[in-house]
Amino acid sequence: MKGLRQYIPFFALVFLYPILFSCNSSTTEMTFDSSKLRKATQEETEKVIEQFIMAEDSMVIEIPAGFYALKTQLILDNKNHITIKGAGLTETVLSFRDLKAGGEGVKLVGNNITIQDLSVEDAPGDGIKSQHCDGITFRKVNVTWTNGDKSKNGTYAIYPVQCKNVLIDECIASHSKDAGIYVGQSENIIVRNSLAFGNVAGIEIENSDNAEVYGNTVRDNSGGILVFNLPGLPKSDGRGTKIYNNEILHNNHKNFATALSEDPNGNTVTMIPPGSGIVILAAKEVEIFDNRIHKNKTVGLAIANYHVTGFPMDAPNWSPFTSNIFVHDNDYQRTWHFPDFTKEFGQLISVYNAHGFARTQDIIYDGFWDKTISDNIQSNPMKICIREKEMEKIHFTLFDLWEGEDNIKSSKDYAPFNCEVQVKTDVSAIANL
Amino acid sequence: MKSYKKYFSINLALGLLLLVLSCEKKQEETTNSKVEISETEAPLVETASLDFSQIPFKNLSDYGFFKGKLKSLDPDEGVLLYEPASSLFTDYAHKSRFIWMPEGTAASIREDDEGSMDFPDNTVIIKNFYYPADFRKPEAEKRIIETRLMVKRNGVWDAYPYVWKEDQSDAIYKVVGAEIEVAWTDLQGKEQVINYIVPNKNQCKSCHNEKEQLVPIGVKAKHLNHEIRFAEGEKNQLVKWQEMGYLSDLNDPTTYPAMVDYNIPSHSLELRAKAYLDINCGHCHRADGPASTSGLFLTYEETDPLKLGINKTPVAAGFGAGTFKYDIVPGQADQSILTYRMSTNQVGAAMPEIGRVIVHQEGLELIREWINGLK
């Protein structure tokens, strides 16, 4: 792709630049306007802080209606059976705009914790983080940033990490600079009936086992739903994710994870091309079915191996390859919008796909495979199975990137991937939490 | 996309200009009203006779750790001064640390890499944070800001923050944290003013956390295995603890781990850098700590280059990654996330996450020098 860059003349760029970027939408849509809420007094605010600090097992922390301007973190310290309950998602707002120190607004540690019916705004780092929880439920929780300038927004909105038995239900996550709903290094996970919009990534499942993502609306993010495995983490490789019955719509938001002037940094999400419906990266055992994947301008579903990041791949108990993927019965609608040219991965898809310059793709596979298993990809060594209803109408591209960017090859041939593979998940134990 | 860069940077510059112009400089009124310093002495209290089940007490003076005027921090019998070899940076605050154990009880050193310790019930660790008015005269006038206690009862540690009154007569238990304006003259003679943040009680565990249990940090053999000055002269702290009856079954101190003082230039650069990272980052960035999520482990004992961050991509750094790809790029401190996060004060990007509102210039310089020397 370097060659491409060099030959675009100087002046053309000046004109092209606003055109290219005007294709990337941006949204400042608000779920509701919290500025109309009654401001909580300092006493009321301190009472909330004290309730978190003094919490005992089996307590209910009720936070009455109001707008709470917090200067310090709300931390629940390793307690059991705690419910944190606001007066409603549009009634109780915890604002961390004035937070002076701390990595997240709310931090929850313990077992069987529920947080519900409230909003968290403007945390400088993450919105609500829960770590080392067994049993954590987020219900009717809204986490967002209200800055006009999205580059100042925080990282994750709803952020369970290193948890077991995670339920995220009827939540809203918007305008986060990384993933709105991010579940990392966890096991037994449901993300359902939730809405993620205006984030860089809508919903992300990372280095996690046994997850189901269903009934969500994921729209107007740069990337809709991501399933990643990253190297070098204590929970090294995750497996078993089902993504079904989701509305994955026009995720064409500009990627604001880094400033436009900057190349992607080491956060993988900075590489996500705007216009991506679903991206799976170094993922293991993922089934994607019955989703409506509409009007994502670059690609509906990208099946990628860690090789595309260009980052080092040496890590114990972890494989850079994506394997055992079953994609079926999804509904695709392409768009006439110009696909992405701002990210290298976007350029790859937009320029080198097998269907023509700047044509939106429904499914792409980057075509890396483990050569110790097979010497050719036609044998489908990584078990990538794609059985959509009208495959002949799908824009499918198989890339061959083994020879680097100077000799990128692509093909429409989906025949090697006409197969089925079983993906097992079982989240019945948390479905009724 | 590199050739687009110029245009982006022009836009960025314009944007920044706008930002700067629109930023109104807030004129904060500084209250220079001097509060009279109290000279009253705290009532005599015998720590050993306290009812530990009633802790936390309302006032620091209720514990009887110090005799005479409380602000002198003059330890009563059995309250022993200790100093870790390398210390955590807390906005240039000076610290004095003490430990107290009930008579007839003693700690013991575990057989792990760090020489962590088992403490008896009712052990109290006392850490005072203060600012000399003039850092060039640290023993002269000073203002104590807070005192943090850690108390072990029934095998479990708990932490209690006390905030000092302005008149320095006593400190009051306060769980919700505070923000206090602090001024001092630094070593170069420059005036410094910050809004010091007293963490709320539950933020203690942002650092004092091992497998979600509250634990002390500085009282491990590796931090204590060196000489400091006592009334009777210089002495290895482990030996002193044993003499006090605070440590049982002590072997030859050289058989225990010992960390260097990162301030002493004669130590190797690598050991100084790793000592700095250990005491400032390693309490979270370890396998049992809250930052284990990152896979970045910054303890003195860590030897795996990937875990130390060398050519390691971040995970959940968000804007904390700045424009950089790796935690540490050998030879290039300016391209490393580690130094970037040490050099920013932006909440959410600044590391450590709590405990500082300003940059530790000397610490940053040390880590930069170390990274620049890595191959």
- Return residues 34-73 of A near B (CB < 8 Å): 46, 49-50, 52-54, 71-73
Q: Binning pLDDT at 50, 70 and 90, where does residue A298 land?
A: very high
A168 assigned to some structural domain: no
Domain count of the fold of chain A? 1
Report residue A125 as tokens.
Answer: 């780092």
Asked if residues A166 and A188 have their Cβ atoms less than 8 Å apart, the reply is: yes
According to the model, what pLDDT value does residue B35 have? 80
User: Considering only alpha carbons, which residue of chain A is nearest residue B159?
Assistant: A53
Q: Which of A16, A97, A100 to mutate to test the interface with B (most CBs of B within 10 A)?
A: A100
- What whole-number percentage of chain A has pLDDT above 70? 94
Average pLDDT over residues A69-91: 97
Report residue A224 as tokens.
Answer: 């809709």
Average pLDDT over residues A51-78: 97
User: Considering only alpha carbons, which residue of chain A is nearest residue B12?
Assistant: A261
Local structure of residue B193 (DSSP, 8 states):
E
* Residues of chain B positioned with their CB less than 8 A from the CB of A154: 318, 348
pLDDT below 50 — which residues of chain B? 1-32
In what order do the strands lie in the sheet containing B156-164? B80-82, B94-100, B124-132, B142-153, B156-164, B171-173
Q: Binning pLDDT at 50, 70 and 90, where does residue A23 land?
A: low
Q: Which of B197, B316, B325 sits opposite A101 (nearest CB)?
A: B197
Average pLDDT over residues A13-33: 64
Q: Which of A53, A261, A267 sits opposite B200 (nearest CB)?
A: A53
Q: Which of B179, B293, B315 sits opposite A71 (nearest CB)?
A: B179
Asked if residues A378 and A365 have their Cβ atoms less than 8 Å apart, the reply is: no
Assess whether pLDDT exceeds 60 at residue A325. Answer: yes
A268 assigned to some structural domain: yes
Residue boundaries of the structural domains of chain B: 47-255, 269-373
Helices (H), chain B: 5-22, 221-224, 237-244, 269-280, 337-343, 361-373
- Does residue B166 sit in helix, strand or coil? coil
> Per residue in A375-413, pLDDT tens?
999 999 999 999 999 999 999 999 999 998 889 999 999
Assess whether pLDDT exceeds 50 at residue A275. Answer: yes
Nearest to B152 by CA among B118, B117, B123, B116: B123
Count of C-beta atoms within a 10 Å radius of residue B78: 19
Judged by CB atoms closer than 8 Å, whether chains meet at B313 and A75 is answered as: no
Q: Which of A13, A101, A102 sits opposite B7 (nearest CB)?
A: A13
Q: Which of B12, B179, B318 sits opposite A100 (nearest CB)?
A: B179
Judged by CB atoms closer than 8 Å, whether chains meet at B197 and A265 is answered as: no
Q: Binning pLDDT at 50, 70 and 90, where does residue A333 land?
A: very high
A200 at B interface, C-beta within 8 A: no
C-alpha span between A176 and A183 (Å, rounded): 14
Average pLDDT over residues A60-88: 97
- The mean pLDDT of chain A is 92
User: Considering only alpha carbons, which residue of chain A is nearest residue B200?
Assistant: A72
> Per residue in A234-273, pLDDT tens?
999 999 999 999 999 999 999 999 877 778 888 999 999 9
C-alpha span between A224 and A203 (Å, rounded): 6
Report residue A264 as tokens.
Answer: 């992607």
Local structure of residue B333 (DSSP, 8 states):
G
Distance from CA of A300 to the nearest CA of B (A): 23
* Residues of chain A positioned with their CB less than 8 A from the CB of B295: 232-234
C-alpha span between B3 and B359 (Å, rounded): 34
Report residue A78 as tokens.
Answer: 């390793």
Give the rounded distance of the alpha carbon of B211 from its chain centre.
20
A272 assigned to some structural domain: yes
A41 assigned to some structural domain: no
Cβ burial of A295 (10 Å; 0-12, 13-18, 19+) is buried
- Does residue B339 sit in helix, strand or coil? helix
- Return residues 371-410 of A near B (CB < 8 Å): none
* Residues of chain A positioned with their CB less than 8 A from the CB of B18: none
Nearest to A46 by CA among B123, B3, B37, B201: B201
Average pLDDT over residues A15-27: 56
* Residues of chain B positioned with their CB less than 8 A from the CB of A156: 316, 318
Report residue B123 as tokens.
Answer: 């052990």
Report residue B271 as tokens.
Answer: 């050991």
Asked if residues A241 and A168 have their Cβ atoms less than 8 Å apart, the reply is: no
Distance from CA of B3 to the nearest CA of A (A): 7
pTM equals 0.89
Q: Which of B293, B312, B328, B329 to mutate to test the interface with A (most CBs of A within 10 A)?
A: B293
C-alpha span between A368 and A412 (Å, rounded): 16
CA A416 vs CA A30, A115, A301, A379, B255: distances in Å? 45, 46, 17, 7, 63
A226 at B interface, C-beta within 8 A: no
According to the model, what pLDDT value does residue A19 have? 44
Judged by CB atoms closer than 8 Å, whether chains meet at A72 and B295 is answered as: no
A155 at B interface, C-beta within 8 A: yes
> Per residue in A107-165, pLDDT tens?
999 999 999 999 999 999 999 999 999 999 999 999 999 987 787 899 999 999 999 99
Backbone φ/ψ region at B104: left (φ over 0), alpha (ψ -120 to 50), beta: left
A112 assigned to some structural domain: no
> Per residue in A356-375, pLDDT tens?
999 999 999 999 999 999 99
According to the model, what pLDDT value does residue B135 have? 97
* Residues of chain B positioned with their CB less than 8 A from the CB of A46: 176
Distance from CA of A125 to the nearest CA of B (A): 4
Q: Which of B7, B182, B200 to mutate to test the interface with A (most CBs of A within 10 A)?
A: B200
Sequence-distant (≥ 6) Cβ neighbours of residue A106 within 8 angstroms: A73, A74, A75, A76, A94, A115, A120, A123, A127, A128, A129
Distance from CA of A304 to the nearest CA of B (A): 18
According to the model, what pLDDT value does residue B69 have? 94
Judged by CB atoms closer than 8 Å, whether chains meet at B287 and A156 is answered as: no
- Return residues 86-125 of A near B (CB < 8 Å): 99-103, 109, 123-125
Judged by CB atoms closer than 8 Å, whether chains meet at B306 and A232 is answered as: yes
Q: Which of A14, A234, A266 sits opposite B313 (nearest CB)?
A: A266
A208 at B interface, C-beta within 8 A: no
Nearest to B131 by CA among B70, B183, B60: B183
- Residues of the domain holding A237: 213-433
Judged by CB atoms closer than 8 Å, whether chains meet at A230 and B3 is answered as: no
According to the model, what pLDDT value does residue A263 have? 82
* Residues of chain A positioned with their CB less than 8 A from the CB of B197: 100-101
